Amino acid sequence: MEALEKRIRRKDLLGKMTTPERAALSVKEGMRVATGGTTHAGYPRAFFKALAERFKKGERVKFDLHTCSPLGREIDGELAGLDVIHRRLSHQAQPPMAKAINEGKILYADMGGCVHATQARYGFFGTMDLVIVEAIAVTPEGFIIPSTAMSDIPSFIKVAKQIIIEINLTLPEGLEGIHDVYIPENPPHRKTIPILRPTDRIGTPYIEVDPKKILHIIGSDLKGSLPTRPPVDKNSEMIAHHFIQFLEEEVRQERLPSHLFPLQVGLGGVAEAVVRGLANSKFEGLWIHSALLNDAVLDLIDSEKVLEASGAGLYFSEEGLARFFKNLDRYKKVLVIRPLDISCSPEVIQRLGVISLNGAIEVDIYGHINSTHIGGGRILTGVAGSIEFARNSSISTFLTPSVTKGTDVSCIVPMVTHVDHTEHEVSLIVTEQGYADLRGLDPRERARLIIDHCAHPEFRPLLHSYLDSAIKQTGGHEPQLLDDPFPFHRRLKETGKMKQ
Amino acid sequence: MEALEKRIRRKDLLGKMTTPERAALSVKEGMRVATGGTTHAGYPRAFFKALAERFKKGERVKFDLHTCSPLGREIDGELAGLDVIHRRLSHQAQPPMAKAINEGKILYADMGGCVHATQARYGFFGTMDLVIVEAIAVTPEGFIIPSTAMSDIPSFIKVAKQIIIEINLTLPEGLEGIHDVYIPENPPHRKTIPILRPTDRIGTPYIEVDPKKILHIIGSDLKGSLPTRPPVDKNSEMIAHHFIQFLEEEVRQERLPSHLFPLQVGLGGVAEAVVRGLANSKFEGLWIHSALLNDAVLDLIDSEKVLEASGAGLYFSEEGLARFFKNLDRYKKVLVIRPLDISCSPEVIQRLGVISLNGAIEVDIYGHINSTHIGGGRILTGVAGSIEFARNSSISTFLTPSVTKGTDVSCIVPMVTHVDHTEHEVSLIVTEQGYADLRGLDPRERARLIIDHCAHPEFRPLLHSYLDSAIKQTGGHEPQLLDDPFPFHRRLKETGKMKQ
């Protein structure tokens, strides 16, 4: 309790202190509950653990859960199985949560990180009955210093009735000052978001709240499972290699400056490989503007390749987090944590000219991207900020291996079964085979480029044959075979392979 | 010649005067040529007429044509048939141009109005060898005062090698001052676009050019065919009625202020009906932020329903244009013409909270929109600014009749055959049957709402049956029947009707 008291710097709020178990009783039938975080950090663990315990004892209430980030498996996984979430907005990526959504047990609306926050502020989803936020401290004014991920918490707090603060005692108070909290007004009072470079500070280092809305303050010393740094396989290395070749060519052609435009960096092995590639490249003076910042970003900062970086959350491994805290003051000068809707702001992404890097489940020959669904209906993950990054970046890049499951499944297909990103916002496809620069091209040109440069050689004849048939039988600008648009998926279902 | 000389206020440019025929000789094999305008106005008629004449005499050169607006039928139609355009970016809507594109005779890349300008400025398409711009005058500095539509001309001029100015002598010089020309810098120097309300002026009333780049100046007294004001049928009236009901409900629920957020207004009968509906509504103090401004906007200004309006071009009928010029000074106080990429700027649209109104060819049960293609391959029109408006508006609305060709064709289908706007950016579907407010809903909820509220009663059983089969056979979050996703289109092809 003493450690917690110390972090509540406004002393008349000490009376709000309670246990996670008591705080968890605040969730009532029909409530809209909002929170934030990332898959591994920044979310209120103690509160949701206590909430799950409450329900595991047999009690059942149904509530809506608003969070534009997947929460940790111990939360999203557990809650998904407890039949307590009525509706979930807007991002999820934990298999048990996806399973419950696919079974129709949880209603789910998938939307971009900026859209969710913006529409919440407009009141389109009503007031948020309860917002639970992980923090590192409460200021003397009663304001919240968030922890390692802000997500859309500041916007949810703007329309919150009541707020529960969970102070993560495992994180140092020294994090204070890394955040830049800015909440746009609603129209017609909304102003520009005056960010001109990734680390420009335009807001406050805390989230302003009306202390009267603070219902409880709880402490937590729970450590979650931090991510492990993803391994880089040969394919990822090749994808990164082709992408960096593309960037080098852009600079040579004077379409990009030698320090490039700011980069979005993703998660996973391919992103890791890209960063390693950048580390070994000639590029210098880079900027990063991203949704999440991972260990690889620290590498680039340490090697002075990257001058500054901003994101809505930290996604560090155990080692990365230790490194980060060890050199906190240095990193705080070049890293900023923003609300997700500012990181994903179309305005900011377009102004900075961000080069976006996203993954894909499948890409079709014309450049439409499926990044969420498989098998004609099952969702894997939400789109989150990939939407805003892809739609507003200077070069909207999608990176994917050409095949999965050995070579049984092609990630390049005639027609994607679900479109998350349309041909209108996809500039570049990169696989381990090569890259296809789609800018300014006709769909048939795109198709040939994607098939010849990105598809796996085993699938090229099949894809060409589909394209030729579609041109012959359907014709038109972007021909598809409406009688059999998904031959790859049909074969996969019938034989377990997309190949003939 | 005298009238033309008078409008060239920088006198050392008088030597650049020539005939359209001579100017038309400037187009050479392999050139990138750019222009602007709208379907009925603002494009350099005399130049392109002379160019077509040149080719009709037998000469052939192939060039790329960059314009983010469909040009008039006498230009796009004629050039399409002459086999001279190698590649066309980015918007087109004239049937002969669409035909040549569908036949594969012209390569075509469809992209948003803001994307085209932005990527052109980045140099992604190389320099523009020749930019032809319609103007009303040249200033004493040698700068261009554009005419009734700017399109993406300012951005094209930024990367132009040579410029031809066509002065439209049928338009009064009094138009001067209505334009607000603002060209963003490229990253990392790009600043905010500081528009806080539709008519904020942030640039210059002329397009700055290096006079050395001006190759020719020509005059034109050609009048094009102005649009007729679209008739409003019963269905359009009902669509408008439901949309206004929705707005009233939003105000009642305090999700929108009583003066609403700024509105995008489209073209055609439905848009006309919406404006008439607004004129008869209780809403007051409205703002319009749109790509094109039509007669209906003048009505709303005259009736003082609308306080101010901005667009990238005027789309007035003969009567509307006369009315506009008669009261030019008054209208100039409340109307601004902007570059298309500023009208369509994600930054500006999101900041203003624009309520976007777009049409659709077909809408699927989950809320994906096809606004460009029919029959599995044939393109009708480009997406243009609808992309940026839909993706960044506060309430992204799509308006369409539920059926066409009597009741043979349903505009609500199980799965759209081409996705231009995804479920992630569609808030509201309105047909003459009613409206479906999709915000925050699960795909299956959306499907039932769209079928029951928007589909034509004759198609509801078929759509429900598809949905039920997909849930049963495929399952998952957003189930589709991959073996037969387009049963409506199949029947249409086989029998001429989507019905069974």
- Mean pLDDT over each residue of chain B, to the nearest integer: 96
CB contact under 8 A, A474 and B368: no
**Does A216 share its domain with A240?**
no
Give the pair of three-digit tokens for residue A137.
């401290």
Same domain, B199 and B261: no
Residue B316's pLDDT is 95
From the centroid of its chain, how far is CA A432? 23
Mean pLDDT, residues A313-332: 96
Tokens 């001029």, residue located: B157
Across the interface, whether the CB atoms of A444 and B104 are under 8 A apart is answered yes
- Residue B224: the pLDDT is 79
Identify all chain B residues contacting A485, using CB atoms and an 8 Å cutoff: 485-486
- HSE value, Cβ hemisphere, 13 Å, CA-based, for B311: 28
Q: How far is CA B227 from CA A387, B161, B314, in A?
A: 37, 34, 11
| pTM of the predicted model as reported, rounded to 2 decimal places | 0.98
Instruction: Give, rounded to a whole angstrom, the gap between the first and last alpha carbons of chain B.
Output: 65
Residue B337 one-letter amino acid: I
Separation between Cα atoms, residue B42 and residue A158, nearest integer Å: 45
Q: Where are the alpha helices (DSSP H) in B70-149?
A: 78-81, 95-102, 113-121
Cβ-Cβ contacts under 8 Å, B421 against chain A: 422
- Alpha-carbon distance of B31 to A491, in angstroms, equals 46
Please indicate, yes or no, if residue A333 is contained in any of the structural domains. yes
CB contact under 8 A, A119 and B439: yes
State the pLDDT at residue A442: 98
- A377 contacts B479? CB cut-off 8 A: yes
**φ, ψ dihedrals at B249, nearest 5°:** -65, -40
CA distance A163 to A87: 20
Cβ-nearest to A261 among B187, B379, B391: B187
Residue of A nearest to B391 (CA): A391
Residue A500 pLDDT exceeds 90: no
pLDDT of residue B113: 87
Residue B74: pLDDT above 90? Answer: no
**pLDDT score at A178:** 98
Residue A223 is predicted with a pLDDT of 86
pLDDT grade, residue A275 (50/70/90)? very high
Whole domain around residue A126: which residue ranges? 2-220
Q: What is the pLDDT of residues B126-167, one digit of tens each?
A: 999 999 999 999 999 999 999 999 999 999 999 999 999 999
Asked whether residue A104 falls in the same domain as residue A157, the answer is: yes
B214 with B239, same domain: the answer is no
Calculate how close chain A gets to B426, using CA atoms only, in Å.
Answer: 10
CA A496 to mean position of chain CA atoms: 31
- Which residues on B lie below 8 Å from A471 (Cβ)? 104
Mind telling me how many Å the CA of B335 is from chain A's nearest CA? 18
Residue B500: pLDDT band (50, 70, 90) is confident
CA–CA distances in Å: residue B490 to residues A19, A234, A475, A481, B303: 62, 44, 16, 11, 48
Give the tens place of pLDDT for each residue, B58-67: 999 999 999 9
Q: Which of A110, A111, A112, A171 is nearest to A137 (CA)?
A: A171
**Nearest-CB residue to A392 (from B188, B261, B346):** B346
Same domain, B145 and B243: no
CA distance B96 to chain A (A): 13
| Pairs of CB atoms within 8 A across A/B | 248
With cut-offs at 50, 70 and 90, classify the pLDDT of residue A130. Answer: very high
Note whether B249 and B149 are same-domain residues: no
* Mean pLDDT value of segment A173-201: 97
Residues A322 and A345 in one domain: yes
B102/A477 Cβ within 8 A? yes
CB A397 within 8 A of CB A243: yes
Cβ-based contacts of B125 with chain A (< 8 Å): 439-440
Cα–Cα distances in angstroms (integers) from residue B28 to residues A294, A362, B272, in the given order? 51, 41, 42
A227 inside domain: no
Check pLDDT > 90 for residue B393. yes
Among candidate residues A158, A192, A220, the one where a domain is terminated: A220
Q: What pLDDT is recorded for position A487?
A: 97
The closest CB to that of B379, out of A196, A425, A478, belongs to A478
Is the model's pLDDT at A331 over the cut of 90? yes
* Chain A residues closer than 8 Å to B383 by CB: 424
Instruction: Check B440 against A112: CB less than 8 A apart.
Output: no
The DSSP-derived string for B467-498 is: HHHHHHHT-SSS---TTSS-HHHHHHHHHS-S
Buried residues in B16-39 as b, exposed as e (16+ CB within 10 A): bbbebeebbebbeeebbbbbbbbb
The C-alpha angle with vertex A281 and arms to A279 and A286, in degrees rounded to 5, equals 65
The chain B residue lying nearest A195, using CA atoms, is B192
**One domain, residues A273 and A178:** no
CATH number at residue A108: 3.40.1080.10
Instruction: Please check the confidence at residue A266 and state whether its pLDDT lies above 90.
Output: no
- Name the pLDDT band for A49 (thresholds 50, 70, 90): very high
> What pLDDT shows up at residue A113?
87
| Contact assignment for A480 to B108 by CB distance below 8 Å | no
Digit-coded pLDDT (tens) for B195-240: 999 999 999 999 999 999 999 999 999 987 899 999 999 999 999 9
- Look at residue A431 in the predicted model and tell me its pLDDT: 98
B67 with B196, same domain: the answer is yes
Q: Which of B489, B245, B200, B209 is nearest to B348 (CA)?
A: B200
Test A255 with B118 for CB contact under 8 angstroms.
no
Q: Which residue of B has its CA nearest to A101?
A: B477
How close B18 gets to chain A, by Cα (Å)?
33
Do A306 and A158 lie in one domain? The reply is no
Q: Report the alpha-carbon distance of residue A179 to residue A42 in Å, rounded.
A: 13
Contact A107 B441 (CB under 8 A): yes
End position of a domain, from candidates B220, B254, B281? B220
Q: Hey, are the CB atoms on A351 and B490 less than 8 Å from each other?
A: no
Is the model's pLDDT at A224 over the cut of 90?
Answer: no
- For residue B439, give how far its alpha carbon lies from the nearest alpha carbon of chain A (Å): 8
- The DSSP annotation for B404-460 comes to ETTTTEESEESS-SS-SB-GGG--EEEETTEEEE-TT--HHHHHHHHHHHTS-TTTH
| Cα–Cα distance measured from residue A175 to residue B447, given in angstroms and rounded to the nearest whole number | 46
Please indicate, yes or no, if residue B308 is contained in any of the structural domains.
yes
Tokens of A60: 């059942």
- From A107, A124, A478, residue closest to B442, measured CB to CB: A107
At B91-126, the pLDDT tens digits run: 999 999 999 999 999 999 999 989 999 999 999 999
Cα(B172)–Cα(B427) distance, integer angstroms: 42
Encoded tokens for B410: 């349903």
Taking the CB of residue B129, how many other CB atoms lie within 10 A of it?
A: 18
Would you say residue B225 lies in a domain?
A: no
Q: Is the pLDDT of residue B380 over 90?
A: yes
Give a yes or no: residue B227 inside a domain.
no
Residue A500 lies in a domain: no
List phi, psi (to 5°) of B325: -70, -30
Domain-located, residue A49: yes
Shared domain check, B196 and B279: no
- Closest-CA distance, A3 to chain B, in angstroms, reads 40
Number of domains in chain B: 2
Among B187, B220, B253, give the residue marking a domain's end: B220
Contact B442 A108 (CB under 8 A): yes
Task: Name the residue facing B378 among A439, A477, A483 (closest C-beta).
Answer: A477
The model's confidence at residue B328, banded by pLDDT at 50, 70 and 90, is very high
Mean pLDDT of B485-493: 97
Nearest CB among B347, B420, B478 relative to A377 is that of: B478
Which residues in chain B have Cβ-Cβ distances shorter than 8 Å to A119? 394, 439-440
Q: Is residue A315 located within the same domain as residue A384?
A: yes
CB contact under 8 A, B353 and A111: no
Residue B184, number of CB atoms within 10 A of its CB: 24
Assign B138 to helix, strand or coil: strand
Question: Please, which pLDDT band fits residue A117 given cuts at 50, 70 and 90?
Answer: very high
pLDDT tier for residue A319 given thresholds of 50, 70 and 90: very high
Using DSSP's 3-state secondary structure scheme, residue B94 falls into coil
State residue A1's pLDDT score: 80
Q: How many helices (H) and strands (E) does chain B have?
A: 18, 24
Does the interface predicted TM-score (ipTM) exceed 0.90?
A: yes
d(CA A152, CA A342): 9
CA distance B247 to B278: 10
Is B500 inside a domain boundary?
A: no
